[in-house]
Structure formats: C-alpha cells, structure tokens
Amino acid sequence: MRVAGSTVVGTTLREHVLAGMRAAPGATGEFTSLLNHLSLAIRIIHSRVRQAGLADLLGYTGETNVQGEQVQKLDSYANDVLVTVLDKSGHCGIIGSEEVDDAIVSSHPGKYVVLFDPLDGSSNIDTNVGIGTIFAILRRTEPRGVPTVAEALRPGREIACAGYALYGPSTVFVLSTGQGVHGFTLDPAIGEFFLSHPHIRIPESGNTYSVNEGNYHKWAPGVRNWVDWVKSSDGDHKAYGQRYIGAMVADLHRTLLKGGIFAYPGDSKNANGKLRLLYEASPLSFVVEAAGGAASDGKRRILDIEPTKLHQRTPLFIGSKKDVEDACRFVGQD
C-alpha cells in the first residue's frame, strides 16, 4: 500500500491556516474564513499593483486623506478592495483603515476587528519600488453587542493575528498568530500562496540600520547620538551599513530576514514621528516579537501602548532584540 503525499506540491496558505484551525480546540472556522478573505483581497491588490504602469492607475486621485497626504489611485483602490472583501466576509464588527477617518461598522457584523494600512509606502508607487499591505486582527470584546470604536482602541498585545503583504519582485504574505512567523510567496500563475519561509526567526543582532537620516537635524540628542554610534566602530561594535527604502513593509521585511533595526523616531516637527500605532507599528511589532525581535518607542514596548485615537502616531525602533536595546539605551535618555 502507498501512503498519499508528495513533496512536489508545497504547503499552501489555505492548508496552513486550516491546519491551525484543526489544532485549535473549539475553533468554528470563522477565523480561517476571515484569513482566506484577507488573502483574496491581497491577491486582488497584487494583481492591480502588477498592472499599475499599464492600467492608468499611477498618480493622484486629487483627494487628501486624514493624515493630510495626497491619496493615490492605488491607495484608494486597495482600501476599497479590503473594506469590501472584509465587510462581505461577515466576520468583522469593526474595520479600521489608515485611509479612512473613522472606524467602519460592518454591515454584516462578525466577531473580529480588522485594522489595516491598505498600501504602505505608496509614495513609492510612481517609481516602481516595493509597497505593501499591513494588517492586524483582534477578537471583539463584545462579539454579540453593537460594534464600537473602543473595540479597536486596544494595545497590540491583544492582537490575535497580524502580518503584511509585500508587493516586491514577488508578492510575499507574512503572518503570525503569536506562535511563530511564517512567510508565503504567491505563485502568480495559479494565484496561490505557498509556504516559502517557515518559522522565521529574526537574528539576535544585524549589521544594518534603516532610518531617514535626512531628519538628523530635527532629532533629539539621544537619537542623533544613537545614529552617530551605530554607524561608527566602537570596541566590539562594528559600524553598521545603512539601508532605507522608505516603505516600512519593505524595510521591515529585510530587517526580519537579515536582522538589524528599522527606526522612525519623533522629531522637532512631529514629536511622535510619522508612523501610525494601530495600522503600522503595532501589527509589525506583533510579527517581529513573535519572530524573537523587539519593538519600542524608545521607552515603552510598542505592544503595551494603550491607544486613545485610531490615527495615533508613535516613534518606532523595531528589529533585532540587541539592536533595539542598543537604540533605547541612547534614545531613552531624551
């Protein structure tokens, strides 16, 4: 008798999620279905991103979003896809998007909250540089009640699942439910994500730092001292190289795989920097911590920050544990 099974076809995202469901006592399949809807939205966005130069999608819509930034066509398309697919799924009570001022109450309320940045790094679109989608899923606190914004205003440590899609040379989908981080690569010919990076662990330390150094003169002394130190050799510390794409998903993905640190500190113009706690910092901190790394605002663990506003910003130092500790040693003195 032969035992079925083959190494020719790898593990798909669907199979991986289904295996997680089978291992979770009492699972109803709703979370599995929600992740499948999310993966559908990401594949739709992937498909449109790939046609961006062809389909007259580059450039601005002419509108301004809640952050006061110009909204690009692909941002609003990605936002619409995610809101529509997640709403139709019937699994979300509240949907929160970086592109939308207020929380969206789903027309088919379910038991999850989903928060996302539909197209992070969108100012890179016109130059054909990597961009991505970031998301976090939380279980609603009152799943039977009327959905409220308070169910979204929760610290990152309460996240049930978070991850991102990076639309780079290939499209990768990285996610974690807190136990392990796994990466899947899309086979565009068949529209399926396959497990390509199982059990990602971020190195204890790296040799690159990733920060917009053009802000140097706006930083507080501690941040400047850290950057001066990190790029110079001092005893056991060898000078780090610098890498900065300007799309956090892309910078973070490299940091996750190779180690090192990504930072967006506060400065004299924006005390809390640029990044949004709920849509960018918390989900990516959840992933990085699950991979063995760390994330801080310089003084506090990102996942412990209690949000008060949906579009709240936070300084961020994220990556290899030792590199984040080193940064906080300097920055914590500001």
Q: CB of residue 122 vs ligand AFP: minimum separation in angstroms?
A: 4
- At 326 the three-state DSSP class reads helix
Instruction: Give me the least distance between CB of 244 and ligand AFP, in Å please.
Output: 7
Q: How far is the CB of 155 from ligand AFP (least distance, A)?
A: 21
With respect to ligand AFP, which residue has the nearer C-beta, 22 or 217?
A: 217
Contact status, residue 174 vs residue 197, Cβ threshold 8 Å: yes
- Which is closer to ligand AFP, CB of 112 or CB of 135? 135
CB of 173 to ligand AFP, least distance (A): 17
The CB-of-312 to ligand AFP minimum distance in angstroms stands at 14
Contact 286, 162 (CB under 8 A): yes
Q: How open is the CA angle 17-122-170, to the nearest 5 degrees? A: 45
Q: Which is nearer to ligand AFP, 229 or 244 (CB)?
A: 244
Residue closer to ligand AFP by CB (options 112, 240) is: 240
Element (H, E) at 166: strand 161-167
Q: Considering beta carbons, is residue 112 or 264 the nearer one to ligand AFP? A: 264
Q: How far is the CB of 257 from ligand AFP (least distance, A)?
A: 17
Buried b / exposed e along 238-265 (16+ C-beta atoms within 10 A): eebeebbbebbbbbbbbbbbebbbbbbb
- Measured between its terminal Cα atoms, the distance across the chain in Å is 69
Residue type, 303: L
For ligand AFP, the closer CB: 213 or 334:
213
User: Which spans of this chain sit near ligand AFP (rule: CB under 6 A)?
Assistant: 69, 120-123, 212, 246-248, 251, 264, 274-275
> Exposure string (b/e) for 153-171, b if CB count within 10 Å is 16 or more?
bbbbeebebbbbbbbbeeb
